[in-house]
Structure 1
Amino acid sequence: MKLILNDELIEENTLPSDFTALRYLREKRGLTGTKEGCASGDCGACTLLVGALEDGELTYSTLNSCITPMQSLTGKHVVSVEYLSKTGELHPAQQAMVESHGSQCGFCTPGFVLSLAGLYENKQSSEQPIDREAVCDAISGNLCRCTGYRPIIDAGLSMFKESMFKESMVKEPMIEGSNETPYVELMSKNDSIKTQLEGLQTEPHDSSNYLQPTDLEQLAHALKSNPAATLIAGGTDLMLENTQRYRDFDALIDVSCVAELKHLHIGETSLTIGASVTYSELEDFSKTLYPQMNALLSRIASRQIRNRGTIGGNVANASPIADLPPLLLAFDADIQLLKNDGSTRVVNIADFYQGYKQTQLAKDEMIASFDVSLDKLAQFHRFYKVSKRMEDDISSVMLAVRFEEKNGTLTDVRLAFGGMAATPIRGLKAEAALTGKLINDEQALNQSIEALRSELTPMSDMRASSNYRLDMACNLIRKAWLELNGTDVVTFSGHAVSDSILSTGSEASNHA
């Protein structure tokens, strides 16, 4: 394993495959600014900033170091909070937190600072403005229990002011006797870091217990040589076995860099999504092409999790509360399964789940990709997620809707639910009640809702009762029908909340 940790080239060959980046920083390097809060990727106290070369550009993203194997960061630039003030001058994110009084006990502060620093580095290098929504997205995986978020958001919004002030200092003579060096160098523009990373890209990334194949040929060899190894992609769920259940893994095969599993492109008839595509990558891809999909992705987990979690992992994990399976179910997506011997087979998403945590995946198979029909993507669709928090929370109810309409008549209807049962499910009777009816037939809508009440018996748990889930599901179907018929139904699904709402609560009734 070779990587750059802050400003030092690290070579390490003795780590267990599942040794986390958090443990490595604290136990092996004495970098204790990175904190352990939850050990499950929920609180953000352990946030790290990781730089990688993409098409010759150095870009940074955040991750939860408590659930990230250290060896997965081979060939990267790993930044801990100690590096931000390496010159003796605070990074604009740090200075803004000081000026905005964004810290009290300080335990969560390093994570917040790194999340804001990542936003600063990427936004500054692209010369895009920072707004409230961008700040809230950046810190969506960072929890604060004492300061409150207003001063932290203020800090994020003021980072460029701090930066401009420091840049102006460079043009003026320094105060005589001062040892301070203004912080003007962007990490993303650091040519020394870029050069070192370019050199690391040419070196093999495999160790004896952590393999990172980059194509299917290498993957096949790794699987053949290590038949007992465990596959890992983002590891945002798998690593909980290590941190929460204290399971030790032997060899791990990391499929997140396999080129053929990273495809994300539009073909003649379908959108192909590789299994190792991350939530963030699909989010960026869908921003203008598929805004409804983009809106749902922004509600999944947190920025740190979306930067590592993969589409294939979300589906293969077979969790009843996963948010992407209902979306794929609404579009009748096909799943390409890849065997260890290189052969493939296709299974429709409707047939993939066999029961709680049970799928059609054989022991020698993995998900390779998903194919979603372009024709169906062009039809009316909506995705609604109901949860207690706006971000970094699990769905109480998830509904994915697709309506096909011809000449004012519904010719195909999909109502796919998550968080309701042991597997993602469809409301088949409710779909049938709407199919063949005029799009504005309210009687058909009411019949569909009654059909749904007769066919679904949602589970009850700590998140919601069965009755609540059923009522919410019925209301969401009505909401989708209203949108189909042109009613402007405002959905509160983002971070761009006006100051008037925050301070007075006014207009709150306008948001559903």
Structure 2
Amino acid sequence: MIHFLLNNQRQSISTIDPNTTVLNYLRNVQRRMGTKEGCASGDCGACTVVLAEVENGQLAYRSINSCLTLLPALNGKQLLTVEDLKEADQLHAVQQAMVDHHGSQCGFCTPGIIMSLFAYQKNASQKKSIQNNPCVEFNKAEALAALAGNLCRCTGYQPIMNAAKEIGNHHQSDKFDQQKQRTIDILNSIQPVQCHAISNAQHSTTHALKTAFSPTTLQELDELLQQHPAAQLLAGGTDLVLDITQKHQSFNTLIYLGEILVLKQINLTATHIEIGAAVPLSQCHSVIAEEYPDFGHLLERFASLQIRNQGTLGGNIANASPIGDAPPALIAAGAILQLRIAGVRRFLPIDEFFVDYRKTQLAQGEYIEKIILPRKPQDSIYRVYKISKRLDDDISAVCAAIHIKINHGQVSSAIIAFGGMAAIPKRASHCEQALLNQVWAETTIHQAMDALQHDFAPLSDFRASADYRMRAAQNILLKCWIESQSALKPNANANHKPTQTLPHIPTRVTDYV
């Protein structure tokens, strides 16, 4: 059974198909029609809702795509939809700002935009409270990030941004602030203490029995995997649930990982960053960005905020997509995976994890427990590049990560990894060998660019042709060398000047309004 708050009403569910998305639950069970289905793939944002949960004694509000979220993710949280914002006949300040600034025309996307702005307002208000500074100014970049996962075909984004600016500059207390302590108390009282489940048990005579288990410890997870070795693990679900919404598949046994606290922890040591496999991408961003700034910029371009609030680093690795953004960056950083099966752990370099298209080294019943990221050496150059058709909320055509060390003008170590160039995220071993122990010079880079053709034979698809992918990958190497010149000591490469410049390859979110 799962327990959660729908607005301020406690809900308990034990019997339901666990393949039910939050969107379908809201519309078909609760008959709440404000939340819309646009794409059912997490791209348009029309289905955006907000989850509130207790963190460090406070409420944390996060926007999510309800079309990609399954019901186990609601347990112990508060679910808020557009119907919950107004009080009596008075619109919430976020809704009123959208009206005042003419931020809606056809209105189909408006509920999702409203909920993204609501989460943005709550987080901006909390930042002002933490900083004890009510005069913190509107942050346009934060507003853009909050709205990057919401598409509008007719209004135009400037009126919506005008509403966001008003919301960011003028916060007034609302009913959620006034009810905060009551909400915290209720959520604390419904936190799980042991494994629980939901299933379609009452309908199992006519349909296959479908069950979702939610363990709270690694021991419970190990036991479940021994009992159900073919069970499908579920973390954020932002990729897995596409099989339900797009391919119309259904899973008989799901095991939800989001209530195992040790899988949601980040531990910092003097030499490593340890990230639990179920930590959402948005929550590990700041830690990664501080150590590896380019990796942080990559995460800012990873899908949308709604996806990053649900999707996990462990899931992005385990699904073994050849175009996943995180694996190349992790390979270049020298990340190690801590794997576990039946209580036994083993450690595997991430560049050895991927075997073939969507295949990994994981044995049946084995799972990723944590990702161990070495601290970045201060004297190394670490760069990440993502090439995609759209700057925000898009899948890579090519993703590259380059990590090199230069000693006395020569390359002493090199790890170069690519996504989108093969059936798996993969190191460019011939390219690395072309660089090792060579002068870090433009002639060396051109040799490494040629060597890439021995590392990869990319395919053509609707994102990019094989020729484009190879040319982009080669130019990324040259771009990295050109950019590195300012990072090196003045005398390290005084005799080698760049003879050409490249078109700008965007690597981070920019203003588009």
Report the counterpart of residue 497 of structure 1 in structure 2: 511
Check if 1:446 corresponds to 2:452: no
Q: Secondary structure at the match of 1:265?
A: strand
Per-residue CA deviations over 1:69-98 (Å, capped at 9, x if unaligned) read 123201100000001113432222211111
Which piece of structure 1 moves more, 270-279 or 22-31?
270-279
Conserved in 2, the CA contact under 8 Å of 1:229 and 1:253? yes
Check if 1:194 corresponds to 2:187: no
Q: CA deviation at 1:124?
A: 0.8
1:141 to 149, 164, 173: 149
Conserved in 2, the CA contact under 8 Å of 1:92 and 1:162? no
Write the distance in 2 (CA, Å) between the matches of 1:188 and 1:310: 32
Q: CA deviation at 1:324?
A: 0.9
Which piece of structure 1 moves more, 249-258 or 417-426?
249-258
Q: CA deviation at 1:406?
A: 2.0
Report the counterpart of residue 345 of structure 1 in structure 2: 346
Conserved in 2, the CA contact under 8 Å of 1:337 and 1:347? yes
Conserved in 2, the CA contact under 8 Å of 1:50 and 1:76? yes
Write the distance in 2 (CA, Å) between the matches of 1:397 and 1:372: 23
Question: Which blocks of at least 5 consecutive residues in structure 1 are unaligned?
Answer: 168-182, 503-512
Write the distance in 1 (CA, Å) between the matches of 2:103 and 2:29: 30
CA 1:376–1:335: 2 relative to 1, 3 Å? farther
Q: CA deviation at 1:245?
A: 1.6
Residue type at the aligned position of 2:222: A
TM alignment of 1:383-394, pairs within 5 A: 383-394=384-395
TM value normalised by structure 1: 0.89
TM alignment of 1:209-358, pairs within 5 A: 209-339=211-341, 341-358=342-359
Write the distance in 2 (CA, Å) between the matches of 1:256 and 1:344: 20
Q: CA deviation at 1:112?
A: 0.5
Residue type at the aligned position of 2:187: L
Write the distance in 1 (CA, Å) between the matches of 2:41 and 2:10: 28
Write the distance in 1 (CA, Å) between the matches of 2:288 and 2:179: 28
CA 1:496–1:464: 2 relative to 1, 3 Å? closer
CA 1:259–1:378: 2 relative to 1, 3 Å? farther
Report the counterpart of residue 50 of structure 1 in structure 2: 51
TM alignment of 1:13-24, pairs within 5 A: 13-24=14-25
Per-residue CA deviations over 1:278-322 (Å, capped at 9, x if unaligned) read 111111323433322211100111101111111111111011100
Write the distance in 2 (CA, Å) between the matches of 1:86 and 1:305: 29
Write the distance in 1 (CA, Å) between the matches of 2:287 and 2:77: 23
Write the distance in 2 (CA, Å) between the matches of 1:377 and 1:20: 45
Q: CA deviation at 1:372?
A: 2.3
CA 1:160–1:332: 2 relative to 1, 3 Å? closer
Write the distance in 1 (CA, Å) between the matches of 2:330 and 2:321: 14
CA 1:384–1:210: 2 relative to 1, 3 Å? same
Per-residue CA deviations over 1:117-153 (Å, capped at 9, x if unaligned) read 0000111122154322111100111111111212111
Which piece of structure 1 moves more, 250-259 or 320-329?
250-259
Write the distance in 2 (CA, Å) between the matches of 1:106 and 1:188: 29
CA 1:394–1:154: 2 relative to 1, 3 Å? same
Q: Secondary structure at the match of 2:448?
A: helix
Which piece of structure 1 moves more, 194-203 or 321-330?
194-203
Which piece of structure 1 moves more, 291-300 or 224-233?
224-233
Q: CA deviation at 1:452?
A: 1.9
Conserved in 2, the CA contact under 8 Å of 1:410 and 1:437? yes
Per-residue CA deviations over 1:144-176 (Å, capped at 9, x if unaligned) read 11112121112111114554xxx5xxxxxxxxx
Report the counterpart of residue 120 of structure 2 in structure 1: 119
User: 4+ runs of 1 displaced by more than 4 Å?
Assistant: 186-189, 202-205, 375-378, 487-491
Q: CA deviation at 1:24?
A: 0.9
Conserved in 2, the CA contact under 8 Å of 1:75 and 1:205? no
Write the distance in 2 (CA, Å) between the matches of 1:298 and 1:375: 20
Which piece of structure 1 moves more, 348-357 or 57-66?
348-357
Q: CA deviation at 1:252?
A: 1.6
Q: CA deviation at 1:223?
A: 2.7
Q: Secondary structure at the match of 1:207?
A: strand
Residue type at the aligned position of 1:302: S
Write the distance in 2 (CA, Å) between the matches of 1:403 and 1:365: 33
Write the distance in 1 (CA, Å) between the matches of 2:226 and 2:62: 33
Question: Which blocks of at least 5 consecutive residues in structure 2 are unaligned?
Answer: 129-135, 199-210, 488-500
TM alignment of 1:450-469, pairs within 5 A: 450-469=450-469
Q: Secondary structure at the match of 1:338?
A: strand
Report the counterpart of residue 131 of structure 1 in structure 2: 139
Write the distance in 2 (CA, Å) between the matches of 1:358 and 1:223: 19
CA 1:331–1:80: 2 relative to 1, 3 Å? same
Write the distance in 1 (CA, Å) between the matches of 2:193 and 2:418: 45
Per-residue CA deviations over 1:489-511 (Å, capped at 9, x if unaligned) read 9764444428xxx5xxxxxxxxx
Conserved in 2, the CA contact under 8 Å of 1:121 and 1:188? no
Alpha carbon RMSD of aligned pairs, Å? 2.1
Q: CA deviation at 1:262?
A: 2.3
Write the distance in 2 (CA, Å) between the matches of 1:409 and 1:383: 21
Write the distance in 2 (CA, Å) between the matches of 1:249 and 1:378: 48
Conserved in 1, the CA contact under 8 Å of 2:4 and 2:12? yes
Q: CA deviation at 1:196?
A: 1.0
Conserved in 2, the CA contact under 8 Å of 1:95 and 1:162? no
Per-residue CA deviations over 1:386-415 (Å, capped at 9, x if unaligned) read 101111110011110001122332101122
Which piece of structure 1 moves more, 266-275 or 295-304?
266-275
Write the distance in 2 (CA, Å) between the matches of 1:2 and 1:149: 37
Residue type at the aligned position of 1:426: R
Q: Secondary structure at the match of 2:384?
A: strand
* Paired residue total: 479
Q: Secondary structure at the match of 2:149?
A: coil
Residue type at the aligned position of 1:132: K
Report the counterpart of residue 77 of structure 2 in structure 1: 76
Write the distance in 1 (CA, Å) between the matches of 2:169 and 2:273: 42
CA 1:301–1:424: 2 relative to 1, 3 Å? same
Q: CA deviation at 1:210?
A: 2.4
CA 1:131–1:495: 2 relative to 1, 3 Å? farther
Q: CA deviation at 1:436?
A: 1.1
Identity %: 39
Residue type at the aligned position of 1:38: C
Write the distance in 1 (CA, Å) between the matches of 2:322 and 2:228: 31
Per-residue CA deviations over 1:333-390 (Å, capped at 9, x if unaligned) read 2212111x11122222222111111111111211112222225586210100010111
CA 1:264–1:148: 2 relative to 1, 3 Å? same
Conserved in 1, the CA contact under 8 Å of 2:288 and 2:295? yes
Conserved in 2, the CA contact under 8 Å of 1:383 and 1:401? yes
